[in-house]
Chain A
Amino acid sequence: MLETEFNVRSPAPAWREETQRAASPEVLLETRALCFDAGGRRLIDRIDIDIRAGRRTMIMGANGTGKSLLLRLLHGLISPTRGEVLWRGRPLDRRGRHAQAMVFQRPVMLRRSVIANLRFALAVRGFAGSERTARETEALQRAQLEGLAVRQARVLSAGEQQRLAVARALSCAPRILFLDEPTASLDPGSTHAVEQLIREAHADGVTIVLATHDVGQARRIGDDLVFLHAGRVVETGRVSDVLDAPRSEAARAWLEGRLYLDSSS
């Protein structure tokens, strides 16, 4: 397996330095030697990454390499076996989690109407009164679901549900939005609509971290790319750099559609 400079923090990756030089956006989220074990296996192995404010970071890699797991660790849904996740330089706590939102591959819709799904999320996040109403209206418009506000959310199409899930997450005003393969089961039209929501969120200043298998999607909406293999970061860089000229064998094999079995993993 390729030993990459991104598995450890000391040799800073070129893209990171370049980014720092360009604008030095604040590091919102960083991981330090992040590990996660389950069933006697190491599923996430010493991951060190920085997520900078305002960037759109794509997490890519083959099935089972730990993309979803990494997102859940970053979002604090599960606790690392070792290492830590830092939010603005401090261990991720409730305040940090409050500034985050996540959209899952299969959108989780409550057994309620579209607007009640929005209302519930806003209520538990502490929004009330006219502000909550305004945010509900804005989210419905954002997701283009104004005409379906009182429809049961679970009977919406997959694309509509995912738009609602993204709009619901954004209605809580997160600083960072995690998306776990949000368009994996959507048709091109629905994919486009979800990507448009992500673009708009980014334009509003929301930092994006998105796990995807879709190379085209990564090119369309990504700035930075973290490529995982067997729970490790094997390559990072700007999306176009990694996808056009992958340096790791794992990324090269994946992009060429080859099965890459690494004896060290």
Chain B
Amino acid sequence: MGSFLASLGEAVGLILTGDRDLLEIIGLSLRVTLTAVAAACVIGLPIGAVVGALRFPGRSLAGVILNSLMGLPPVVVGLMVYMALSAGGPLGPLGLLYTPTAMIIAQTILVTPIVAALTKQIVEDLHADYAEQFASLEVGPFDRVVALLWDARFSLMTVALAGFGRAVAEVGAVIMVGGNINHVTRVMTTTIALETSKGNLEVALALGVVLLTIALIVNGAVMTFRATAARVTYA
């Protein structure tokens, strides 16, 4: 316990003193995660809203698929992206393997189903409230989806947070397509995995606490923003 606290103190000290390596790792973690979550929201929110709000053949199947994809194994995604980006893969000429972009792609694939499935549920519930009024006003499919996404925006912030939680804690896929290269693709989770494999459990634990703290700060910031925005909007 003593060595853990000492390692934790050491990690906090590194942050406070502005250790370049650690800050670089934290910065890359946030860049990769936030970019992936943003991309997943751009893709997943409309998909979830369409499946949740509109009636079309195969809608139930689409819902089942979205829910199933929430449990997509990261190593499978990592392998797929690896094969696609490797020299012999269809996207090989882009030279993206072992770059942060590859990690963003893998995380986006992992997070998008989560965003889409949770959005579908929220939009579906809201649509149940609105359905007759929308039908009476003859609201078209596009306006319907846009209106539901807008009216559910504060609930959807929680969806984005769920996606962030998944992405920031992910290690399997990013280590496969990123390679955990020092100063290039090393992020918090891959560093933790590396330190654990080296037997530096205290350092790994301390980094884990730092990761949790970052997640806590991001969650707190979003929830505070959500509460403030809702209060201002509904004042």
| Chain A residue with Cβ nearest B155 | A111
Q: Is the CB of B138 within 8 A of A101?
A: no
Q: Is the CB of B151 within 8 A of A77?
A: no
Residues of chain B contacted by A134 (CB below 8 angstroms): none
Q: In the complex, which range does the number of interface residues on chain B fall in? A: 10 to 19
Q: Is the CB of B138 within 8 A of A124?
A: yes
Residues of chain B contacted by A112 (CB below 8 angstroms): 151
The answer to whether B56 has its CB under 8 Å from any CB of chain A is no
- From residue 151 to 173 of chain A, which have CB atoms closer than 8 A to chain B? 151-152, 155, 172
Residues of chain B contacted by A111 (CB below 8 angstroms): 126, 151-152
The answer to whether A94 has its CB under 8 Å from any CB of chain B is yes
CB distance from A160 to the nearest CB of B (A): 15
| Chain B residue with Cβ nearest A178 | B136
Interface of B is mostly: helix
Q: Is the CB of B143 within 8 A of A152?
A: no
Name which of B22-30, B127-135, B189-197, B198-206 contacts chain A: B127-135
- From residue 110 to 166 of chain A, which have CB atoms closer than 8 A to chain B? 110-113, 120-121, 123-125, 150-152, 155
The number of chain A residues with a CB under 8 A from chain B is 24
Known contacts being A110-B130, A110-B147, A120-B147, is A77 close to B136, with CB within 8 Å? yes
Q: Is the CB of B130 within 8 A of A108?
A: yes
| Chain B residue with Cβ nearest A107 | B133
The answer to whether B58 has its CB under 8 Å from any CB of chain A is no
Q: Is the CB of A104 within 8 A of B130?
A: no
CB distance from B171 to the nearest CB of A (A): 38
- Tell me which of A94, A97, A152 contacts B234 (CB under 8 A): A152
Report B131-153 CB contacts with A as 1/0, cut-off 8 Å.
Answer: 01101111110010001000110
The answer to whether A102 has its CB under 8 Å from any CB of chain B is yes
- Tell me which of A98, A113, A150, A151 contacts B138 (CB under 8 A): A98
The answer to whether B233 has its CB under 8 Å from any CB of chain A is yes
Q: Is the CB of A104 within 8 A of B137?
A: no
Q: Is the CB of A155 within 8 A of B234?
A: yes
Residues of chain A contacted by B151 (CB below 8 angstroms): 110-112
- Tell me which of B137, B138, B152 contacts A94 (CB under 8 A): B138
Q: Which 4 A-B pairs have the closest CB atoms?
A: A152-B234, A108-B133, A111-B151, A102-B136
Q: Point out residues on B near A: beta carbons under 8 Å.
A: 126, 129-130, 132-133, 135-140, 143, 147, 151-152, 233-235
Given A108-B130, A108-B133, 14 more contacts at CB 8 Å? A77-B132, A77-B135, A77-B136, A100-B136, A108-B129, A110-B133, A111-B152, A113-B233, A120-B147, A124-B137, A124-B139, A124-B143, A152-B233, A152-B235
Report 15 cross-chain contacts, Cβ distance below 8 Å, ordered by A residue.
Answer: A77-B135, A104-B132, A108-B129, A108-B132, A110-B147, A110-B151, A111-B152, A123-B143, A124-B138, A124-B139, A125-B137, A125-B138, A150-B235, A152-B234, A152-B235
